[in-house]
Structure 1
Amino acid sequence: MSTDTDSPPGRADRWSTTLLRHDLPASIVVFLVALPLSLGIAVASGAPIAAGLIAAVVGGVVVGLLGGSPLQVSGPAAGLTVVVAETINQFGWKTACFITVAAGILQILFGLSRIARAALAIAPVVVHAMLAGIGITIALQQLHVLLGGASHSSAWENLVELPGELLELHSDDFFIGAVVIVIMLTWKYVPGRLRALPGPLVAIVIGTGLSLIVPGNVERIVLSGSLFDAIGLPRIPSGGWGAVALAALTIALIASVESLLSAVAVDKMHTGPRTNFDKELVAQGAANVTSGLLGGLPVTGVIVRSATNVQAGARTKASALLHGIWILVFSVALVAVVQQIPKSALAGLLIVVGVQLVKLAHIRLARRTGDLLVYVVTVVAVVFLNLLEGVLIGLVLAFALLLWRVVRVTVSADPIVGTDRWMVSIEGTCTFLALPKLSAQLAKVPAGSTVLVEMSVDFIDHAAYEAIHDWAAQHENTGGRVEFVELGSAPMADALTGPPVRGRSRGLLDEALRPWREGEGNPITTGVRAFHRRNAHVVRPHLDELRDGQNPHSLFLTCADSRIVPNLITNTGPGDLFTVRNVGNLVLSNGRDTSMEAALSFALMELKVDHVVVCGHSSCGAMKAVLDGVTAGPGLGNWLVNAAPALDRWQRGHSVGHAAAAAGFGASDQLAMVNVAIQLETLRTHPVVRDAMLRRGVAVSGLFFDIGSARVMQVTANGLSEITDPDLSALAISSVH
C-alpha cells in the first residue's frame, strides 16, 4: 500500500519548488537590473525620482498578477522617455499623471476589443528607427548631465549647446559618469562568476562609491521623503482637451506597441506558454491607470528586464511580481542609499542604454531590405521633431514605399540571341501607371518581327490590357507576328469580363486542368489555347530536341481510365514513356491482340526501352464489371473475358489478393492488384519480352495507383509494397525477372 510520502508531489509542491528554485533567484537578478534603470529613466524624463520607483513597483505587481505574458517584466521604459518629457514640459507633472491614467484606459479598451495583434502590423523598420531616435535623443540629453550641466528641451538645442558645455566641463561629474560608461561597455568581458552580477548595478555601485571618496561637489539624486510621501492623485486639466487626448493616445499607442513587440521577442527566448496579447494589453492598461493614480511614470513591457528574467531562469509570472516587491521594500527601507547616487552616474548609464537602442543589425537589415531611407528619415524626424510626428512620417514613407513596390511592373524588350525573334517580358502588377514604361519598351520592337510576349502578372487593369492589345494588333497589321505566353495568375482575358482583380495563385495540376474544369465551348480547343498561352514555350526547347525521334526509357501499359495520368504519377516528361492503354490494362497471350503485339515489338526491338511496366488502379470500372459478372454491350463483354484468369486466381486466394486485403483494400481493388500480377506473368512468358529480359536485362514491373490517397505501390508476384523513398522515381523500382 502506497503512502503519501511515496506519491508524486502535488501541484502546490511543484509550484513551490519552481518558485524557490527558479523564480525567486530570477526576481532578485531582475530587481538589481531594474532599480538603476528606473531611477535613470525618471531623471531623463524630468519626473520626480520616486515616480520611476512607483512605476517599477506597479509594473512588477500589477502586470505580474494580470499579464498575459508569462515571463515579460514591465516598468518605466526608455522608449517613452522623450514623449513623457514633452508631456511634463507642456502640462506639468500632475496633469501628466492624469494623461498616464487616460492612456491606461485606452490600452484596456484596446485589449477588450481584441485588436492587440493589429499593433504588430506597424512596419518593423519604423519601430526600429523609433527606438534608435529615442536612444539618440536620450544620449544627447544625458551628455549635458554627464558634463555637469542640465539638458535642454529639444535635441537641436542639446546639439547646439554641447560645445559650450564641453568648455565648462565639471571634471568630478564627468569622471564618475565616464567610469560608469566604461564599466557598462566592458562588463561582458569580465571573466568568471563575477559576470553573473548585473552590469548596470555594478556600475552604479562603483560610481556611487567613487563619488564618496573623490574630491569635488558631485550632484546627487534628491528624494523628498519616502516612497509613500511621493504618492499623490493626478490633476484633471482645466482645458486644452484636444492636446491632452493626443498625448494620451500617443502614450497608449507607443506603450502598447513596445509591450507587444517585447512580448513577441520574449516568446522567442523560451519554450513555455505563449503570450495572450489581449490579456497582456489589458494588464498594461491596468498598470498605467494604477501608476498614474499613484504618481508614477507610464509603464510598458521592457525587453532588457524581460530578457534578463528569461536568462536568469524564471519559469512563471511570480518572478516579475517578486521583483516589484523587492523594489518596494528597497524604496521604503533604503531611501538614504538612493540619495547617495550621483546624477552623472545615472547619466552614464542612460547614455549607454540610449546608444544600445541604435542597433547595427537593424541598420544592416534596413539596407538589405531596401528600407534604409525609411529608417534614416524616421530617426531624423523623431530626434528633431517629436516622437509622434517622427513615427507618422516613417509610417507614411513606409506605406508609400510599399505601394510603389506593389504597383510597379518590370517591362523589357530584347532580341532573342541567335534568332530573328524578340522577347517582351512583362512582370508584376500591370496598371495604367505602367503605360509610360510599357509604351517605351514596346516601341523598341522592330516592325515585321516575330514577338513572344511573356506575361507574368498578378494584376492587369483594362488600360494596360488595351495598350498591349492595341500594340499587338498594330504590330500584326504591319506584317509582324505576336505570340502571348501567360505565366502569371491574372489572365489577360479576365480584364474583359469585369472589374480587375488580383490573380489567385494555383497549384500546378489545378492550373493544368483549369481549362477543362472552367472552359466554355469545346474543352479541347480551350485547353489548346491555354497550352499555347502558358506552357508551349516552356516545353518547346525540349520538344525541339525530340523532333527527329524518341528515346523513351519505359513501356508503360495502363488502363484507359481518365483518372490515370502516367507522366504525373511517375514524374516524367515528354519522350520518357511509350504508353499503351486499354480497358483493364490487359495483356493477351498467344498474340491475340495485334495492337499490343505491335507495341511490345516496337518498344523493345526498335526503341530499346529498359522497363516494361503494368499499372492498375483503384476503383477500376473494368474490374468491378468482371467481379459482378456485368457486361455493358458485346464489345466490352468480349474484351473483359480476357480478365477471367485474374478473377479465377483471386478467387483461389492469390498472395497479392491476401496482401491487398490485409492492407484494407476492397474486393475490386484486390482483383485489380491480382490482375496486375497476372499480366506480369503473361509478359514474362512473351517471346519478345523474355528475349529482351535475357539479352538486355529489361525489367518487368507492376504498379498500383490508389486514386483516393494518390499513393503508388509496387506489385510483385507475391505481394505489394509502398514506394516511399523520395529519391526514387516510380519507375526506378526493383523488379522480379
Structure 2
Amino acid sequence: MRHDAPGAHAGHPGHPGLAARLRSLPLLSNPVGDVSASLVVFLVAVPLSLGIAAASGAPLMAGIIAAAVGGIVAGLLGGSRIQVTGPSAAQTVIIADLVMRYGWEVMCLITLLAGLLQALLGAVRIARAALAVSPAVIHGMLAGVGVTIALAQLHVVLGGDPPSSAVAAIRELPSALAGAHLPAVAVGALTIALLLLWPRLPGPRALRAVPAALVAVAAATAAAVATGLDVERVSLLASMGEGWTGPVLPDRADVHGVAIGVVTVSLVASVESLLSGLAADRLHDGPRIRLDRELVGQGAANAASGALGGLPVSGAIVRSTANARAGARTPAAAALHGVWVVVFVLLFAPAVELIPMAALAALLVMIGAQMVHPRHVADLRRHHEASVYLVTLAAVVLLGLLEGVLIGFALALAVSLRRLTRLTVLTEERDGRWHVVVQGSLTFLGVPRVARMLRTLPTGCHVDLDLHVDFMDHAAFESIHAWRVDHERTGGSVDIDEVHENWYERSSMQAPPVGKTAPGGLARWWAPWGMRDGYDSSAPPTGLLVAGAQEYHSSTAGRMRAMMGRLAHRQRPTALFITCADSRVVPNLITASGPGDLFTVRNIGNLVPPHDGADDASVGAAVEYAVEVLEVPSIVVCGHSHCGAMKALMDGVHEAPAAVRADRLRRWLGHGRASLERTPREALEAAPGAEALRALAQANVEQQLEHLLSYPAVRRRSEQGLLELTGMFYDLDTAQVRVLDPRQGVFVPIADGSAGGRIPGPRGPLGPVGEAGAVDGAGAVDGAQGPQGPPPEREHA
C-alpha cells in the first residue's frame, strides 16, 4: 500500500500543492492584476457598447450582449493574452447600413454567419493572409469611419436624428445648427469637455485612473437628472422586450446582399482583430498572439453574439490598451470584464435608463475624431502612401465603407505595381557614341518611355545599350529588338550589354523564361569575407583571395566584359583620390564609383610630402601624372577616424630615435609633423582619445591639401580653374562621409541622395556641389561635368 511521504502535500518544495498548481494555470497566474484590470475595462466598455449600439441603429441591449459575449468567449477561446473583444466603432457604418436594408433580425443572422466564416478561416490557418492589406488602406478606412460617425452623431448632440450618410450629414448640418435643442447641446458639450479635461486634471493617480468615458457619461447623466433637462434617454428595458430578438432568415430576394454582408463583416472584423492583437502584443512581455487561434475565438464570439441577438464584435485596441495598463496579464481579465457587464445590467438596468442619448452621442463624436490620426499621414508620407490613405478616407465618407475599401485597395495595388515596375533611363553622348542605361524592371508598362527615348537617338549613330534590369517581359524584348533592327538597317550599330541577367539574350535564343531576380548581385557583396554566408574561417589567406576571384568570375566578370573592353585602351578618371592604406577604407565603395572613375593613391596616413625637399617621390610622381598626363579635374584627400597613423603621430613615433626597428615608418610619419602642429593643442589634450584622433585626422586632410598646392602643376591648373581640391573624411563608426567646407573650415555631412538634399561646401570629386549641386534620387550630382562631357539626361518612369 502506497503512502505519501511527509511534506508531499501543499507547501513541500518538491511537490506543489493545490494553490501553487492553480497559480500555474494561465488563467489564474495573475489574479489580483487581472481582476482589477477587468473592472477598469468593464467601466470603459459599458458606455462604449451603448453608444455603438445607438449609432448602429440596433437595440441598445445588443451592445451589452456583444460586450459580454465578446469578452467571455473570445477571451477564453482566442489566442491573445490581453486583447479585449467587443462592439467596434469601425463596424458602425456597416451595421447601420445592413440594419436599414434588411432589419435587425437578419443582421443577427449576418453576425452569426460571419462568425462561422471567421472560425473556418482560422481553422484552415490563413489568418496571416489578412495582414496583406496595406496599413494605408486600414488607417484610411478607420479614419473614414471615424469622420462618418462623428458627423452622424453630431446631429444627435444637436437634438436631431442621425442622417443616413455622411454626405447627408454635411448637407443637413446648417439646418441642424439652426434648430439645435439646447438641453441636448448642453449635455453633449459637458461630455466632450470632461473627455478632454479629465486626463489632464491634477489629482491622485488612483482617481485619474478612472476612465474618462465613464466620468464624462456619469457626470452628464447626473447633471441632466439634477437639473431636470428634457432630453432623450436610453431605453434599455424596452430593448430587452420588443427589440431583443434572435436571427431570422432573409427574404429570397435579399440572399445575395446578405451574403455580401456576411463576407464584409467577417473580413473587417478579422482584419481589425488581428491588427489590434498584434498591436496589443507591444503592451506586454507574455506569449505572443496565435493568429489562427485568435481568429477562431473571434469567430466563436461573433457566432454566439449573433445567436443571442448581439452586435458583431472584434478586438478593440482602446479596451486592450486599458486592459494592459491596468495590470492584466492573462485572458482572464477580458473574460471577467464580460461577467461584470452581465452583472451590471442585471442589477442596475434602471440606472442605465437615466443616461441621455446626447451624452453617448458626444462620446462617439470624440471616438470618431480620435480615429483620424494625423500621425498616420506623416508616417505614410515618408513611405509615399499618403495618397492611398487620403483617397480611402474620402471614398469611405462619400461613397460608403465597402466602396471606399475597394477603391483604397485598388489604389494601393496600383502604387505597389508602379514601384515594382519603376524604370530609370539615362542617356549620354561620348565622342560620337551614345550610351543608354536602362535600370529597374522592364515590363510593358515601361515600354512607351524606353521606346520614346530610343527613338530620339540620331539615325546611324553607334549606341551602347546597358540593360541593368531585374526582369524583362516579352513586350519589352520585342520593342527593344524591333528598334535595334530598324536602327541597324539605317546604318547605325547597337552594342547591348546586359549588366545583370541576360534577359535579352535569352529571349533572342527563345530560351525558357526565368523568374524575377534581384538587381544588386550577390547579397552583402560589399561586406568582409568573414561576414558573408559560406565563409570558411579555416581557409588560408591566399585561399580566400582565390575564392574571391572565383566568385568574381562566376558572378561579375561576364557582366563587366563589354564595359572593361571599352575602358581597356584608355583611362579618363574623374579624380585623383588620395587616401589612407587602412583596410577599412574602400574608396570605390564610399564614393559609389566604378572602374575608370578614380586614380587612387593610398599610403600610411594619406600623406602628401611637399614638393620641395621630399625624400619620397612616389606620391609626387602620382600627383604629376594625374594632373599633367591624365588631366584630372579634381583631387580629393580623404582621411578617416580611428587612423593608426594619426595615433602614431600623437604618440611621437616620428620623433623616436633613428635606431628603432620601424625606421622607414618613422621617417614617413615625419611628413605629418605639420598636421600635428596645425591641430590646436587643447583639442588634443582636452578631448577623449577618439575625438582627439578625429581632430588630428581632419587637420591632416587640410594640411595635405596645402601640400598639394606646393606642386607647380597643381597650383597652375588650380589658378586656371581647371583643377579643384576637395577634402573628405570617412567616419568608421557611422559609415558616413563628410566633406570639407573651406569657407567655415569644418567637415559637414553629405546629404542622403535619396532625400534629394544638397551637399554644402566646395566642388566635390564628382562635380560641383553646394549652391548648384543638388543630389538627385540616384545618388549622382546634377551639373557634374567631368572629362567625358555633360551629365546624362535622366528620365524616370
Q: How far is the alpha carbon of 1:136 from its aligned partner?
A: 1.1
Q: How far is the alpha carbon of 1:253 from its aligned partner?
A: 1.2
Q: In the alignment, is residue 209 of structure 1 matched against residue 222 of structure 2?
A: yes
Q: In the alignment, is residue 530 of structure 1 matched against residue 531 of structure 2?
A: no
Change (3 A) 1:493 1:377: same
Residues 535-566 of structure 1: CA distance to partner in whole angstroms, max 9, x if unpaired? 789x9899766999x99979xxxxxxxxxxxx
Q: How far is the alpha carbon of 1:103 from its aligned partner?
A: 1.0
Q: How does 1:95-134 map to 2 (within 5 A)?
A: 95-134=106-145
Equivalent of residue 372 in structure 1, options 363, 386, 391? 386
Q: In the alignment, is residue 7 of structure 1 matched against residue 13 of structure 2?
A: yes
1:226·1:331 contact (CA, 8 Å) conserved in 2?
Answer: no
Change (3 A) 1:12 1:547: closer
Q: How far is the alpha carbon of 1:494 from its aligned partner?
A: 2.9
1:119·1:257 contact (CA, 8 Å) conserved in 2?
Answer: yes
Partner residue of 2:471?
A: 459
Residues 109-159 of structure 1: CA distance to partner in whole angstroms, max 9, x if unpaired? 111121111111112111111111111111111011100111122222222
2:22·2:29 contact (CA, 8 Å) conserved in 1?
Answer: no
The residue type paired with residue 279 of structure 1 is R
Equivalent of residue 188 in structure 1, options 167, 190, 199? 199
The residue type paired with residue 190 of structure 2 is V
Change (3 A) 1:335 1:414: same
Change (3 A) 1:467 1:33: same
Partner residue of 1:139?
A: 150
Q: How far is the alpha carbon of 1:298 from its aligned partner?
A: 0.8
Q: In the alignment, is residue 221 of structure 1 matched against residue 227 of structure 2?
A: no
The residue type paired with residue 265 of structure 1 is A
Q: Write the distance in 2 (CA, Å) between the matches of 1:541 and 1:44.
A: 79
- Where in structure 1 are there 5+ consecutive unaligned residues? 555-566, 579-604, 609-689, 699-725, 728-737
Helix, strand or coil for the counterpart of 1:334?
helix
Equivalent of residue 213 in structure 2, options 190, 200, 222? 200
Q: How does 1:655-674 map to 2 (within 5 A)?
A: none
Q: In the alignment, is residue 167 of structure 1 matched against residue 173 of structure 2?
A: no
Equivalent of residue 282 in structure 2, options 268, 271, 291? 268
Q: Write the distance in 1 (CA, Å) between the matches of 2:178 and 2:382.
A: 41
Q: Write the distance in 1 (CA, Å) between the matches of 2:43 and 2:575.
A: 80
1:424·1:452 contact (CA, 8 Å) conserved in 2?
Answer: yes
Equivalent of residue 365 in structure 2, options 324, 343, 351? 351
Q: Write the distance in 1 (CA, Å) between the matches of 2:575 and 2:211.
A: 76
1:429·1:459 contact (CA, 8 Å) conserved in 2?
Answer: yes
Helix, strand or coil for the counterpart of 1:191?
coil
Q: How far is the alpha carbon of 1:576 from its aligned partner?
A: 9.9
Residues 266-311 of structure 1: CA distance to partner in whole angstroms, max 9, x if unpaired? 1222221111111111111111111111111111111111111112
Partner residue of 2:672?
A: none
Pick the structure with greater CA Rg.
1
Q: Write the distance in 2 (CA, Å) between the matches of 1:543 and 1:276.
A: 61
Residues 400-426 of structure 1: CA distance to partner in whole angstroms, max 9, x if unpaired? 23223323422232346xx76654231
Residues 403-458 of structure 1: CA distance to partner in whole angstroms, max 9, x if unpaired? 23323422232346xx7665423121112332321132224444676655443311
The residue type paired with residue 287 of structure 2 is P
Partner residue of 1:91?
A: 102
Q: How does 1:580-729 map to 2 (within 5 A)?
A: 695-696=664-665
Q: How does 1:488-527 map to 2 (within 5 A)?
A: 488-489=500-501, 491-496=503-508, 497-499=511-513, 501-504=515-518, 506-507=521-522
Q: Write the distance in 2 (CA, Å) between the matches of 1:542 and 1:273.
A: 64
Change (3 A) 1:156 1:490: farther
Q: How far is the alpha carbon of 1:392 from its aligned partner?
A: 1.4
Residues 147-199 of structure 1: CA distance to partner in whole angstroms, max 9, x if unpaired? 01111222222222211111111111101101111221233322341321111
Equivalent of residue 64 in structure 1, options 52, 59, 75? 75
Q: In the alignment, is residue 311 of structure 1 matched against residue 325 of structure 2?
A: yes
Partner residue of 1:658?
A: none
Equivalent of residue 30 in structure 2, options 19, 24, 49? 19
> Which deviates the most, 217-226 or 197-206?
217-226
Partner residue of 1:657?
A: none
Residues 368-399 of structure 1: CA distance to partner in whole angstroms, max 9, x if unpaired? 33333332332222222221122112212222
Partner residue of 1:278?
A: 292
The residue type paired with residue 23 of structure 2 is D
Residues 207-239 of structure 1: CA distance to partner in whole angstroms, max 9, x if unpaired? 111111234301110122696997533222232
The residue type paired with residue 426 of structure 1 is V
Q: Write the distance in 1 (CA, Å) between the matches of 2:288 and 2:495.
A: 54
Q: Write the distance in 1 (CA, Å) between the matches of 2:180 and 2:581.
A: 87
Q: How far is the alpha carbon of 1:692 from its aligned partner?
A: 9.3
1:172·1:215 contact (CA, 8 Å) conserved in 2?
Answer: no
1:459·1:490 contact (CA, 8 Å) conserved in 2?
Answer: no
Helix, strand or coil for the counterpart of 2:416?
helix
The residue type paired with residue 507 of structure 1 is L
Partner residue of 1:424?
A: 436
Change (3 A) 1:446 1:22: same
> Which deviates the most, 161-170 or 321-330?
161-170
Change (3 A) 1:245 1:696: closer
2:82·2:323 contact (CA, 8 Å) conserved in 1?
Answer: yes
The residue type paired with residue 226 of structure 2 is I
Q: Write the distance in 1 (CA, Å) between the matches of 2:344 and 2:49.
A: 13
Q: Write the distance in 2 (CA, Å) between the matches of 1:84 and 1:451.
A: 63
Give aligned pairs, total.
Answer: 578
Partner residue of 1:288?
A: 302
Change (3 A) 1:553 1:118: closer
Helix, strand or coil for the counterpart of 2:283?
coil
Partner residue of 2:766?
A: none
Helix, strand or coil for the counterpart of 2:146?
helix
Q: Write the distance in 1 (CA, Å) between the matches of 2:211 and 2:353.
A: 21
1:461·1:495 contact (CA, 8 Å) conserved in 2?
Answer: no
2:237·2:349 contact (CA, 8 Å) conserved in 1?
Answer: no
Helix, strand or coil for the counterpart of 2:237?
coil
Q: How far is the alpha carbon of 1:695 from its aligned partner?
A: 5.0
Change (3 A) 1:473 1:143: same
The residue type paired with residue 246 of structure 1 is I
> Which deviates the most, 336-345 or 469-478?
469-478
Change (3 A) 1:345 1:444: same
Q: Write the distance in 2 (CA, Å) between the matches of 1:256 and 1:65.
A: 17
Q: Write the distance in 1 (CA, Å) between the matches of 2:274 and 2:261.
A: 20
Equivalent of residue 251 in structure 2, options 231, 235, 238? 238
Helix, strand or coil for the counterpart of 2:476?
helix
Change (3 A) 1:527 1:385: closer
The residue type paired with residue 465 of structure 1 is F
The residue type paired with residue 354 of structure 2 is Q
Q: How does 1:358-507 map to 2 (within 5 A)?
A: 358-415=372-429, 422-446=434-458, 452-469=464-481, 471=483, 484-489=496-501, 491-496=503-508, 497-499=511-513, 501-504=515-518, 506-507=521-522
Q: How far is the alpha carbon of 1:490 from its aligned partner?
A: 5.9
The residue type paired with residue 424 of structure 1 is V
Change (3 A) 1:529 1:243: closer
Partner residue of 1:590?
A: none
Residues 357-377 of structure 1: CA distance to partner in whole angstroms, max 9, x if unpaired? 111122223333333333233
Q: How far is the alpha carbon of 1:513 from its aligned partner?
A: 11
2:195·2:213 contact (CA, 8 Å) conserved in 1?
Answer: yes
